[in-house]
Amino acid sequence: MVERHHAGESPTAALPREPAARAAPEPDRPVARDGHPGSPSRRNGQKLLSLGLLTLAVLFVISLFVGVGDLSVRTLLAGTWDAETMRLMLVSRIPRSAAAVLAGASLAVAGLLMQMLSSNRFVEPSTVGTTEAAALGMVVITIFAPDASILAKMLFAASFALLGTLLFLVLIRRLRSKSSLLVPLVGLILAGIIESTAYFVAYRNDLLQSLGAWSRGDFSMILQGRYELLWIGLALAAIALFAADRFTLAGLGRDISVTLGIAYERIVALGLVIVSLIAALTVVTVGEIPFVGLVVPNLVTMAMGDNGRRIVPVVAICGAGLVLACDIIGRLVRFPYEISVGAIMGVAGSLLFLILLSRGRPARG
């Protein structure tokens, strides 16, 4: 476990002077273009959705008031709210909370897409090589073009992620037996190979520290101006919602998709691009956060089924809530020190996942 002083807002750390941040972000309220009017699953879905949004809003407010800096609800009530506290709020707390929400939502959606594309419930970007390939991409671009803009670096990393994911899909298409556990296993092996390659290259080029930051999810360095790329993730999640029917059908397999007139290869390609971009975005800005993409879609599909149109919004909100909650816990357990969100999620996620497995959830079906 990593613990470090809160870099962004330790009382002594000078806050960068930047213009005021935007207002607190609310996740886009998804439009339910839903199936049968008045069907029970639909009503359930909407109840879950509003409940999720409410929980997320509460977590967001809590997140705003947890930290080392002198900023609590008490200061708010006592009226000692001055320009300095305002700046802390705008430059650090709001961006940090927003980053957690955006990263969580997009990672959870990426996990869901990955599961649909490979028709297997036990995969997510960080267990099939996507995330590792993105980190490798960052290492490579940092060696060859260290001064490139962050956007350019991210896009380069995304292209690596795309290749890594493509390799995974090609591998599993070739598997004779698509046994449910073989698919995630192949993913883990591929991820391991790519990860060691990244470490080797980073080691040779003295970039181990940077690679550490990319592969360990952590929000403590998030400040205004350093997380905005993550908004693209939300836009990508919205695209996933827009194409949700097609992704759901892709999850049912190539044959059903083709029979219903869907350009299967094209929808898989779209999914790959979305997943790779989201992986690269989060690696670049906050580092790898494991398990969100695995646990959240599994819990949601167990409760609500696989109909993408219905579950994409719920998956996004639950992902955001889970990551935000883990970040808050990470800030609280060893106050005033922090435990990175990656580590907390590693514990929480693996526990949740073990529970899922022990309930005997089949990988397919």
Partner 1 sequence: MIEAAALTKLYGKARVVDEASLTLASPGVTAIIGPNGAGKSTLLSMIARLLPIDGGRALIDGLDVTRTRGDELAKRISILKQENGLMARLTARDLIGFGRFPHSKGRLTPTDYEKIEEALTFLDLLPFADRFLDEMSGGQRQRAFVAMVLAQDTRAILLDEPLNNLDMRHAVAMMRLMRRAADELGKIVVVVLHDINFACAYADRIIAMQGGRIVVDGPVEEVVSEETIEAVFGLPVMVRDVEGQRTCLFRA
Q: Which is nearer to partner 1, 1 or 256 (CB)?
A: 256
One residue of 11, 16, 35, 192 binding partner 1 per CB under 8 A:
35
Let me know: does 161 contact 280? Beta carbons within 8 Å.
Answer: yes
Does 252 help bind partner 1 (rule: CB under 8 A)? yes
d(CA 124, CA 104): 13
Rg of the chain, C-alpha, whole Å: 20
* φ, ψ (nearest 5 deg) of residue 179: -55, 140
d(CA 186, CA 168): 8
The site string for partner 1 over 39-58 (x = CB under 8 A, - otherwise) reads xxx-----------------
Task: Kindly indicate which of the ranges 31-39, 69-77, 78-86, 231-239 contains the residues binding partner 1, using the contact rule CB under 8 A.
Answer: 31-39
Does 228 help bind partner 1 (rule: CB under 8 A)? no
Tell which positions 121-160 bind partner 1, by CB under 8 A: 121
Does 255 help bind partner 1 (rule: CB under 8 A)? yes
Which single residue is written with the structure tokens 């073990």? 354
Q: Which is nearer to partner 1, 117 or 202 (CB)?
A: 117
Q: Which is nearer to partner 1, 143 or 252 (CB)?
A: 252
Least distance from C-beta 259 to partner 1, angstroms? 5
Q: Which is nearer to partner 1, 226 or 364 (CB)?
A: 364
d(CA 113, CA 123): 10
d(CA 178, CA 101): 35
Sign of the Cα torsion 315, 304, 188, 128 reads negative
One residue of 15, 188, 212, 364 binding partner 1 per CB under 8 A:
364
Eight-state DSSP code of residue 339 = E
Q: Which two tokens stand for residue 76?
A: 């708010």
One residue of 17, 19, 36, 77 binding partner 1 per CB under 8 A:
36
From the number of C-beta atoms within 10 Å of its C-beta (0-12, 13-18, 19+), residue 166 rates as middle
One residue of 150, 181, 208, 258 binding partner 1 per CB under 8 A:
258
Q: Which is nearer to partner 1, 17 or 36 (CB)?
A: 36
**Among 23, 34, 75, 29, which Cα is nearest to 56's?**
29
One residue of 11, 16, 253, 336 binding partner 1 per CB under 8 A:
253
Does 188 help bind partner 1 (rule: CB under 8 A)? no
One residue of 63, 97, 106, 119 binding partner 1 per CB under 8 A:
119
Least distance from C-beta 322 to partner 1, angstroms? 21
HEC states along 53-71? HHHHHHHHHHHHCCCCCCC
Q: Which is nearer to partner 1, 89 or 128 (CB)?
A: 128
One residue of 4, 29, 33, 74 binding partner 1 per CB under 8 A:
33
- The SS3 call for residue 13 is coil
- The 10 Å Cβ neighbour count of residue 42 is 16
Least distance from C-beta 242 to partner 1, angstroms? 10
Determine the size of the site formed for partner 1 (CB under 8 A).
35
Task: Kindly indicate which of the ranges 76-84, 225-233, 274-282, 303-311 contains the residues binding partner 1, using the contact rule CB under 8 A.
Answer: 303-311
Q: Which two tokens stand for residue 172?
A: 């599993």
Distances (CA, A) of 249 to 119, 206, 246, 269: 10, 45, 5, 14
Distances (CA, A) of 272 to 166, 244, 320: 8, 14, 21
Does 249 help bind partner 1 (rule: CB under 8 A)? yes
Q: Which is nearer to partner 1, 35 or 336 (CB)?
A: 35
Let me know: does 15 contact 91? Beta carbons within 8 Å.
Answer: yes
Tell which positions 306-345 bind partner 1, by CB under 8 A: 306-307, 309
Residues at the contact surface with partner 1, assessed by CB under 8 A:
33, 35-36, 39-41, 115-116, 119-121, 245, 248-249, 251-256, 258-263, 301-302, 305-307, 309, 362, 364-365
